[in-house]
Each structure stands twice: as structure tokens, then as C-alpha cells.
Structure 1
Amino acid sequence: MGIFGRKRRDRRHDERAEAAEVAEAPEVTAAVVTGPDDPAADASAAEGPFDIADAPDDGRPRMDLGSVRIPVPDGSQVQVEMDQQNGNVRAVHVVTAHGQATVSAYAAPRSGGLWKDVSTELAEQLRSDGAKVTSGRGEWGIELSAIVGEVALRFVGVDGPRWMLRGVIAGPQSQAAHAPVALRDIVRDTIVVRGDSPMPVRTPLPIKLPEAVASHIAQQQGQGS
């Protein structure tokens, strides 16, 4: 995998903090992770995101993070964000040419519909923080666009079987026209592994780093101590 950046923060991990943190578009120290570009495979693939029970055996490279398996587009970088207090992984970001994309999975009710509620709350919070927010319809339903200072944000959400997948991409306003496409491509090819354990609704599904990445971060932490 190469070198993956790590970042520590002590802010409370909730939906308000996440929106504010994404808008900061932090610097990244990471290795370029590339994958094959196969247009023919893209044309024949089923549309995702996928539950693990329905995931296609397409042989596409994905980063296995335990609860989600996400594609890393050719030429992108990967950044791991750590929680300073407990040392757990808070998020894994994919930094593309058009912005920093983050895909997160949450426990959801069997009845679905969680993204509608979350998107409404998120839009209200962003507006209360001074962002310019618009709502529209996208590939999976509601999409939110927001402008926070010089940063453009796009949020998408997908309701799955007992899970909700949320994707967000943050980047300069000059890339606002291209960023949503990059985000949708990542979300569309993501696989969610919900598991059978009962969880309260909105609980983030746990992230587990690949062994090579976890070992490198542990080495960095040891050098910094």
C-alpha cells in the first residue's frame, strides 16, 4: 500500500463535527494508490453500492475496511484519520483530483429511510453554521450541495438493508462541477458489510484497517513518541 497519512483530532465525533471537518479540506500525506482502468468492466457492471450478500464477484480492487470495501480510483491518495483520545480510526479519506471523498456506513432501521432524516438535519445544521445549502435529486435520491467559505461540499446517501451509506466530497469551488461525479463513482462501487450484531440506529459501522496500513501507522506512532 505504501505510505498512508494519519491525522489526530480530539473533536467530538458527531454529524456536526464531521461536516465542519470536511469543509476544512486538510492537507494529506499519503502514497498514490493506483488500480486498473477497465472501461469494458465498468460498462458491464451492476449498479451499487452493494450489500455484501449481493456484491458482484467482479475482481475489482477495493480497500477492505471491515464494514466497507471502497474502491480507490487510479491516481488517488488515501488518508487515515485517527481519534486522539482512544486511538481508533475515525475515518478513511480518498483524495482525488477533484476533492477529498469520505464514505461512511451506519446502522439503520429495517424500514429504511434514514438518509431522508439525516439529510434534513444536516442541511439545517450547515445553514445554521452559515453555509449556502441547496438540495436536489441524484442517483439515489436526495443530494446536498453546500458552500462553506471557499470549499464546495456534496453529500449523497443510500439506504440499504439495515445500513445507510453516506458519502461526502470536499474541494475547491473550481472543481464543484466534477466532484459529484467522482464521489458517485466511489459510492456506486462500494460494498457494505453490515454484520448481524444489533446496533442502535445511526451507530457508525466499525472501521478496520488492512494489516499493512495498520502496521505502518503503528510504526509512525512509535517514531513520534
Structure 2
Amino acid sequence: MFGWGRGRGKRADDAAADAELSAEEQDFAEGGPFDESEAPDDQVERLDLGSVRLPVPEGGQLQVEVDPAGPVRAVHLVTEVGRLTVSAFAAPRSSGLWAEVSAELADQLRKDGAQVHAERGDWGIELVADSPKAALRFVGVDGPRWLLRGVAAGPAEHAEECTKLLYAVLDETIVVRGAEPMPVRTPLPIQLPEAILRHIQQAQAQNNGQPG
């Protein structure tokens, strides 16, 4: 099991401005997430998804969203206290993409009827949203030419536990950006391990009435 190195964020004072801080104002603590070039030589077991390598919480189950055409849309970690989603995106060499993305995300969440406020965490600004379906927390980390976004979603009564679990996962995640140029905000490709991919293909075949 991996560490629990992050505490809860503190609510931002300037709610009107959503406390959207510039990259220069953000405080980053030691630890991950790590770029591939600075990946630690540790004993943490990580699930290799191509663009991200992330630890799986004890008892966690993998949930995969696959487009009909084939590409993997998202990978979720389902736990007893909620669902965690970690995604990586291409970003410019200059940091600060999360400030822009989080502002747009907050606007969209409000349009969808959620109550949203910002808090300051170890990686900068975090968004906390209460919707009829779930309590949500969005954490963004600006890295070298990548943006890592983590989302915790679950029942309100488990929000604090789910948040701590998200922090722990992000703290041990490794991002593999690759050298190829990509448009900003493009999701970095997810590649499933062969065993998981084969299991999904067999399940799809059974659903289509074909022999596995």
C-alpha cells in the first residue's frame, strides 16, 4: 500500500474569483506526481497504462470506458469510498494550464447545477463540487509539457476519505509524456496491459453473442 502524504486543501478566501491562482502563486510540495525522467526507484507497484503509471489502492477495482471504435476513453479506480479517475493531457512548455482549465471546468459544473468552490491544496487550486449525484473533487498538477488531472467522486459521507485516497494515488503517479508534439489539451493515449485488454475483448465478444 502506498503513502497518505497529502492533507486536505484549504478553502480559498476569494470565492468570487474562485481563487484561480497563477502558476507563480501555486505552492508545490515534495513528492509526486513524477515525470518519467524523474521517476523514483522505489518498491511501489504501479499499473502501467502507457501515459500514466499509477498505484491501485488495496481492494480497488479497475473500470474501463472504451469507445465503440476501440480507443480507451478513461480508466477509473473503483474503491469502497468512491471512484478515482486520473488522466494526463498534453500541455505547453510554459506551466499554468490547470488555472485555465479549472476555471472553465468550474463554469461548466455550475451550468450543470453543481455547487462549486475552490480550495488551495499542495498542488495549487482544487475544485470541490456538490452535485445531486456525487461529491466531487478535481485536482490538477502542471508538469513538464503535461497536465495531470485527478477526480474523486463518491457519496458525500465518504468525501474526505475519497479525497485522501486521490491524494495518495496522485502522489505516487508517474506521467509518461513522450517526445512527439501534440496539440495542447490532447489526452495522452491510454494503453491497457495485455491481460486486461484480452479480458475486455472477451467480454465484448460475449455481449455480441460471439464465442470468447
Under TM normalisation by the shorter chain, which class is it? 0.7 to 0.9
Identical residues among aligned pairs (%): 61
Which amino acid in structure 2 is aligned with residue 82 of structure 1?
V
Measure, in 2, the Cα distance between the counterparts of 1:224 and 1:129: 33
2:34 alignment partner, one of 42, 46, 50: 50
Q: Corresponding residue for 1:180?
A: 163
Matches within 5 A, 1:7-26: none
Measure, in 1, the Cα distance between the counterparts of 2:66 and 2:113: 27
2:137 alignment partner, one of 130, 148, 154: 154
Q: Corresponding residue for 1:70?
A: 54
- Cα shift at 1:177: 2.0
Q: Corresponding residue for 1:136?
A: 119
- 1:110-152 alpha-carbon deviations (Å, 9 max, x no partner): 0010000000000011011110001010010000000110410
**Shift in CA distance, 38/51, structure 1 to aligned 2, threshold 3 Å:** closer
Higher RCO (Cα < 8 Å, 6 or more apart): 2
Query: Is the counterpart of residue 82 in structure 1 residue 66 in structure 2?
Result: yes
Aligned length: 184
**Shift in CA distance, 219/189, structure 1 to aligned 2, threshold 3 Å:** same
- Structure 1 spans left out of the alignment, 5+ residues: 1-36
Matches within 5 A, 1:100-119: 100-119=83-102
2:191 alignment partner, one of 208, 212, 224: 208
Measure, in 2, the Cα distance between the counterparts of 1:181 and 1:134: 18
**Displaced runs of 4 or more, over 4 A:** none
Counterpart secondary structure, 1:92: strand
Measure, in 2, the Cα distance between the counterparts of 1:141 and 1:120: 13
- Cα shift at 1:176: 1.5
Q: Corresponding residue for 1:13?
A: none
Question: What is the CA RMSD across the aligned residues, in angstroms?
Answer: 1.5
- 1:52-87 alpha-carbon deviations (Å, 9 max, x no partner): 000001021100000000110111111111112x12
- Cα shift at 1:213: 0.3
- Structure 2 spans left out of the alignment, 5+ residues: 6-29
Q: Corresponding residue for 1:98?
A: 81
Is 2:140–2:148's contact at 8 Å kept on the other side of the alignment?
Answer: yes
Which amino acid in structure 1 is aligned with residue 143 of structure 2?
G
Counterpart secondary structure, 1:112: coil
Query: Is the counterpart of residue 169 in structure 1 residue 145 in structure 2?
Result: no
Counterpart secondary structure, 1:178: helix
Q: Corresponding residue for 1:196?
A: 179
- Cα shift at 1:219: 1.1
Which amino acid in structure 2 is aligned with residue 76 of structure 1?
G
Measure, in 1, the Cα distance between the counterparts of 2:199 and 2:79: 22
Q: Corresponding residue for 1:59?
A: 43
Q: Corresponding residue for 1:19?
A: none
